């Protein structure tokens, strides 16, 4: 347990020194928030009611889908994996450390948006913060599950970049954070329902999420967990 905690602390520090991580976890999401938040609230004053959920969903999706898979490929696609096996260290600890570190960073980034948005955009704060935090954590975990599964399933970094974009771009365009889902053709709206960003945005906009509303996120967490476990078993064999 001490070794696990030490590795987590080390990974947290390494992430803060990694330019790629800082770009996808903090810099780009916060710059996008500052830029697009001003545009949204100027064009549509009612956007102040959804600017916090929409910008958080964008930032979390970018970090988890574009940032986390690259780190996982860097671990399991290199000689470091052999060091894990040689040292009899379970391969799952690597994914767990990356996800816990990413959870902390993405949660912190979300809290920055939550605190700053009311000050600069007069954004509406969530009326029930505990429910908002629960929805946020579940959404981050579900999105990290997708990102981790991509990082383990796609071994080639170039191909990973392309596939990650195929997940990230629909998460931005088909989930309601840029414009209402009702403006989309029904087929595209249905595709958007398989993405965690859709349900993350929906739950973050609710005052009190219900079990039915968070169930899709729980299903995504469960499915991606099974994929991750399967890929880790295959990595041990190969």
CB 197 within 8 A of CB 143: yes
**Spatial distance between the Cα atoms of 156 and 41, rounded to a whole number of angstroms:** 40
Between the CA of residue 87 and those of 74, 81, 179, what are the distances in Å?
Answer: 18, 10, 50
CA atoms within 13 A on the CB side of 154: 21
Q: Which range marks the domain in which residue 203 is found?
A: 2-237
Cα angle for residues 81, 71, 90 (degrees, 5° grid): 35
Per-residue pLDDT of the chain (238 residues; tens, 9 = 90+): 666 676 777 777 777 778 888 899 999 999 999 988 888 888 888 888 889 999 999 999 999 999 888 888 877 666 666 666 656 667 777 788 888 989 999 999 999 999 999 999 999 898 889 999 999 999 999 999 999 999 888 877 778 888 999 999 999 888 888 877 888 888 888 888 999 999 999 999 888 888 899 999 999 999 999 999 888 887 665 5
CB 125 within 8 A of CB 114: yes
Q: What is the pTM of this model?
A: 0.91
**Short-list 198, 213, 217, 221, CA closest to 57:** 198
Structurally, the chain folds into a number of domains equal to 1
């Amino acid at each position: 347990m001490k070794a696990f905690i030490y590795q987590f602390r080390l990974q947290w520090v390494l992430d803060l020194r990694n330019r790629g991580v800082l770009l996808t976890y903090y810099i780009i999401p916060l710059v996008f928030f500052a830029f697009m938040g001003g545009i949204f609230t100027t064009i549509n004053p009612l956007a102040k009611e959804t600017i916090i959920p929409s910008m958080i969903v964008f930032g979390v999706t970018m970090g988890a889908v574009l940032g986390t898979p690259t780190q996982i490929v860097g671990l399991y696609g290199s000689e470091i994996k052999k060091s894990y096996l040689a040292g009899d260290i379970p391969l799952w600890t690597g994914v767990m450390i990356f996800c816990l570190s990413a959870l902390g960073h993405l949660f912190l980034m979300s809290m920055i948006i939550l605190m700053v948005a009311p000050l600069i955009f007069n954004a509406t704060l969530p009326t029930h913060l505990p429910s908002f935090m629960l929805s946020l954590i579940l959404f981050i975990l579900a999105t990290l599950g997708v990102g981790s599964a991509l990082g383990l399933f796609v071994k080639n970094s170039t191909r990973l970049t392309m596939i990650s974009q195929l997940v990230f771009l629909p998460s931005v365009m088909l989930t309601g954070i840029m414009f209402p889902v009702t403006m989309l053709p029904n087929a595209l709206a249905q595709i958007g329902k398989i993405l965690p960003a859709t349900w993350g945005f929906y739950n973050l906009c609710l005052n009190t999420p219900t079990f039915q509303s968070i169930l899709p996120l729980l299903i995504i967490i469960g499915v991606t967990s099974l994929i991750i476990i399967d890929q880790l078993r295959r990595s041990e064999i190969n």
